[in-house]
Chain A
Amino acid sequence: MSARRRAIGAHYGVSEWALQLLTAVVMIVCAIWLAGAWLLVQPDSHARLAEFIGSELVRLPLMLLILALVWHAWIGAKSVMMDYLPWDWFRLVKLTGAACYLIVCLIWAVAVLWGVA
């Protein structure tokens, strides 16, 4: 095989794989923190729940968890589509749809978290 025709990588891929691992770790840490906070406070009414979520010690880790989840879901969705959708145009449409859905979810989460208290 001549050097001109040698197979080489596209020089990316490792960053997405590492980010998927990193976002998974962030989600685990935040989930443990939030579960602990829930067990400590155990809000028993809507008002106390709103107060609980409104506290910066809960709201910020919760937002971080949602951000990590959205990013993780985006990399995962992209990966699944790369696996199973060989047609570029169809993959582009599906990826655009997934990106729009995840952005809407993120905006909604911000609106809920900063709208409760």
Chain B
Amino acid sequence: MHFSIYRYNPEDGRDPYMQDYHVDVKPSAKMLLEALVQIKDELDDSLSFRRSCREGICGSDGVNINGKNGLACITPLADIRQPVTIRPLPGLPVVRDLVVDMSQFFKQYRSVRPYLLSDEPTPQRERLQSPTDRAELDGLYECILCACCSTACPSFWWNPDKFVGPAGLLQAYRFIADTRDSRINERIDNLEDPYRLFRCHTIMNCVDVCPKGLNPTKAIGKIKEIMLKRSF
């Protein structure tokens, strides 16, 4: 297979460039990550990328594959058009090759306080929820924070310091929708802002690229709806 991979090493003083690799992918290799590991093992051990669980759970190996963000470990080699162009996730500073600095992404994620805030006394065991209330969290809690969505969002490219981004907003709604959380007003106040929430223009790149099939745009729409209802 023919691969064209983004290379950048801040220590060698060269500008970023695309490097071609031709590799006879092992017949057992099914996913893109396996081909990347083979390139690193057999052709070029200086190639840098992140990976960990290699089964779409940890969210480490988010890259831009032929112009679309995705996880290398769950992208079947059979489905990719050649030459396979692999670049780092767009919109974040590149540390080296396919490794990006995700500080800004996690800063926005932390800003929505992605944990339960309850004024109820801490129970002896778990906080119980009805099956209907629990079902509200489906499609929200599954996010693995791979950053594929936020780095596919033009609004996040332009205002990463001010716009929370689709991943952060999905998590914000995950706790707004959680009936065990008692700080909904505080959470809505946090987001009622022309930049933090309203930079979302429903472009829906986030929905298109989410490797877990989640819908941040829908969650953002629900936050806006709650905000609007609260105004009357």
Range, interface on chain B: 20 to 34
Q: Report B's interface with A, CB cutoff 8 A.
A: 110-111, 113, 154-155, 158-159, 189-199, 201, 224, 227-228, 231
Q: Does A9 contact B190, Cβ atoms closer than 8 Å? A: yes
B192: nearest residue on chain A (CB-CB)? A9
Chain B residues near A18 (CB-CB < 8 A) = 228, 231
Taking a contact as CB atoms closer than 8 A, the residue among B194, B224, B227, B228 that contacts A10 in the complex is B194
| Given A16-B198, A17-B198, A18-B228; A11-B155 close (CB under 8 Å) | no
Chain B residues near A82 (CB-CB < 8 A) = 194-195, 199
Assembly CA distance A14 to B224 (angstroms):
7
Residues of chain A in range 27-66 having any CB-CB distance to chain B below 8 Å:
none
Q: Does A1 contact B (CB under 8 A)?
A: yes
Chain B residues near A83 (CB-CB < 8 A) = 154-155, 158-159, 199, 201
Shortest beta-carbon distance, B114 to chain A, in Å?
A: 12
Between A and B, 14 residue pairs with Cβ closer than 8 Å are A1-B110, A7-B111, A7-B196, A8-B189, A8-B193, A9-B190, A9-B193, A11-B189, A13-B194, A14-B192, A17-B198, A18-B228, A79-B198, A82-B195
Shortest beta-carbon distance, B203 to chain A, in Å?
A: 11
Assembly CA distance A93 to B111 (angstroms):
32
Q: Does B192 contact A11, Cβ atoms closer than 8 Å? A: yes
Assembly CA distance A94 to B111 (angstroms):
31
Assembly CA distance A72 to B189 (angstroms):
25
Total chain A interface residues with beta-carbon distance under 8 A: 19
| Given A17-B224, A83-B199; A10-B193 close (CB under 8 Å) | yes
Which of A10, A12, A14 is packed against the most chain B CB atoms within 10 Å?
A14
Q: Does A89 contact B (CB under 8 A)?
A: no
B164: nearest residue on chain A (CB-CB)? A7
Chain A residues near B224 (CB-CB < 8 A) = 14, 17
Chain A residues near B111 (CB-CB < 8 A) = 7
Q: Does B190 contact A12, Cβ atoms closer than 8 Å? A: no
B194: nearest residue on chain A (CB-CB)? A13
- Produce 1/0 per residue, A70-92, CB < 8 A to B: 00000000010011101000000
Assembly CA distance A18 to B228 (angstroms):
7
A85: nearest residue on chain B (CB-CB)? B158
Q: Does B110 contact A13, Cβ atoms closer than 8 Å? A: no
Q: Does B198 contact A13, Cβ atoms closer than 8 Å? A: yes
Assembly CA distance A14 to B194 (angstroms):
8
Q: Does A2 contact B (CB under 8 A)?
A: no
Q: Does A13 contact B193, Cβ atoms closer than 8 Å? A: yes
Taking a contact as CB atoms closer than 8 A, the residue among B113, B193, B199 that contacts A11 in the complex is B193
Chain A residues near B154 (CB-CB < 8 A) = 83
